């Protein structure tokens, strides 16, 4: 089966206006969310990466063990569904009516939702020793941040402004 001229997009047919309709699996949807913060169910939280209490909603987290905010960046994206051993799952479908191509094998995908907590105010972070960015991100994947410098010894927790308009951050 060839990849086709529109790979990685699969032509599904024409819509009711006669325009081609394609299936795509390499897109994502990202946006910011602001909750009311009036009760514990109306906030976003993540493990605290060492931020002072002022960066967090202290009334929802008095001991500062968590980083709590009304703001988060949310992303939805697809990843290929896999079986044990990393085999990509496929589903065989019959041909749409009126097409002579026979059964089609389609990849199956899993829909993921990722949320990363944002700080309401610019909050610099620093580290006494150089750390690898991947190790830090691995420990705090729920916090939206940028790390700076060749050794990643400083950074900033992202705010709604730095996410929606990166030039001003």
pLDDT tens, residue by residue, 66-121: 788 899 999 999 888 877 777 777 666 655 555 555 556 667 788 999 999 998 88
DSSP type of residue 138: H
Alpha helices (H) in 24-153, listed in sequence order: 133-139
124, part of any domain:
yes
- Torsion angles phi and psi, residue 3, rounded to 5: -75, -30
1 pLDDT band, cuts 50/70/90, is: very low
pLDDT for the residue numbered 63: 65
What tens digit of pLDDT does each residue of 12-42 get?
788 899 998 887 878 889 999 999 888 888 8
12, part of any domain:
no
What tens digit of pLDDT does each residue of 111-155 get?
999 999 998 887 777 766 666 556 666 778 888 888 777 667 778
Domain extent for 135: 23-168
Residue 90 has a CB neighbour count (10 Å cut-off) of: 13
pTM > 0.85: yes or no: no
107, part of any domain:
yes
Whole-angstrom distance, CA of residue 165 vs CA of residue 167: 6
Residue 157 has a CB neighbour count (10 Å cut-off) of: 25
52 pLDDT band, cuts 50/70/90, is: low
Take residue 4 and report the two structure tokens written for it.
């086709």
123, part of any domain:
yes
- Whose tokens are 């009334």? That residue is 59
75, part of any domain:
yes
77, part of any domain:
yes
Tally of domains in the chain: 1
18, part of any domain:
no
72, part of any domain:
yes
* Positive or negative: CA dihedral 134, 73, 43, 154: positive
């Amino acid at each position: 089966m060839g990849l086709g001229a529109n790979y990685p997009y699969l032509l599904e047919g024409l819509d009711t206006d006669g325009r081609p309709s394609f299936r795509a699996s390499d897109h994502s949807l990202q946006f910011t969310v602001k909750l009311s913060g009036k009760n514990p169910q109306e906030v976003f939280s993540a493990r605290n990466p060492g931020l002072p209490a002022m960066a967090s909603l202290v009334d929802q987290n008095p001991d500062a063990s968590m980083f709590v905010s009304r703001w988060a960046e949310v992303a939805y994206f697809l990843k290929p569904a896999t079986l044990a051993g990393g085999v990509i799952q496929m589903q065989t479908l019959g041909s749409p009516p009126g097409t002579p191509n026979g059964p089609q094998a389609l990849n199956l995908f899993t829909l993921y939702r990722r949320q990363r907590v944002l700080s309401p105010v610019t909050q610099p972070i620093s580290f006494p020793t150089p750390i690898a960015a991947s190790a830090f991100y691995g420990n705090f994947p729920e916090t939206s941040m940028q790390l700076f410098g060749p050794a990643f010894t400083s950074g900033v927790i992202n705010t709604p402004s730095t996410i929606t308009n990166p030039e001003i951050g």
